[in-house]
Amino acid sequence: MGRNRSMQQYMKEHLSFYLFVGVIFVTGVVFGAVMVNALSMDQKQEITRYLGNFFSSVEQGALGGDVQGSFRDSFSMHIKWILIIWVLGVSVVGLPLILILDFLKGVLIGFTIGYLAGTMSWKGLLFALVAVVPQNLIAIPVLLVCSVTAMAFTVHLVKNRFLQKRGTLYEPFMRFSATVLASAVLLAGVAMLEAQVSPVMMKWVTPMLVLGSAS
């Protein structure tokens, strides 16, 4: 009962943050998808050539051979992202930069899925579903929760240290840091998914893309 009440209180206090961050992220996704149409023909050919080499490497089994290295690279990328959010959250001027990070994350995902679907039709969409979507079903909510927690801490910091000049920062800071730590654990699972499962799924669908591009 107490847990339900605390969850209701949490959502009441942070719902506006989640809505705002969600809108920023979705705007980034749409912007990234629209950016595909702004590419020049040379840029599209260069990206297509890179993807062709990548698909050939996947088909030959070059991807996923070094599971430890893949896990390390993936986890390093994810952990840097949330550590930047943590640093921005404990600084007074970091709030706009957190929103920019969420927007850029949306742009990256929107551009990747938009380009694959736009140039390879349903085959590109299928590849995006196995290579991009699964890990981001976990990584994106984790990123948004970290962003909202960072924003809430920044607002609390400004309100209780610079405006009202009362209250303690210990509990909000520990809650914020605990959220980042829990996020790191979840992102370790995401990195393991990318290192072990994603290469297998990509190798499964890649022959269809290679045959499609050859024809």
Count of domains in the chain?
Answer: 1
- In tens, the pLDDT along 136-179 reads 999 999 999 999 999 989 888 888 766 666 667 788 889 899 99
Write the DSSP assignment of the chain as a string of letters. -HHHHHHHHHHHHHHHHHHHHHHHHHHHHHHHHHHGGG--HHHHHHHHHHHHHHHHHHHTT-TTS-HHHHHHHHHHHHHHHHHHHHHHHHSTT-HHHHHHHHHHHHHHHHHHHHHHHHHHHHHHHHHHHHHTHHHHHHHHHHHHHHHHHHHHHHHHHIIIIIIS--S-SHHHHHHHHHHHHHHHHHHHHHHHIIIIIHHHHHHHHHHHHHHHHH-
Q: Are 148 and 14 in contact (CB under 8 A)?
A: yes
> Above 70 in pLDDT, residue 211?
no
> Above 60 in pLDDT, residue 210?
no
Q: Which is higher by pLDDT, 60 or 214?
A: 60
pLDDT at 172: 83
pLDDT at 214: 44
Specify the pTM. 0.85
Domain encompassing residue 66: 2-214
pLDDT at 215: 44
pLDDT (mean) for 69-81 = 90
pLDDT at 7: 67
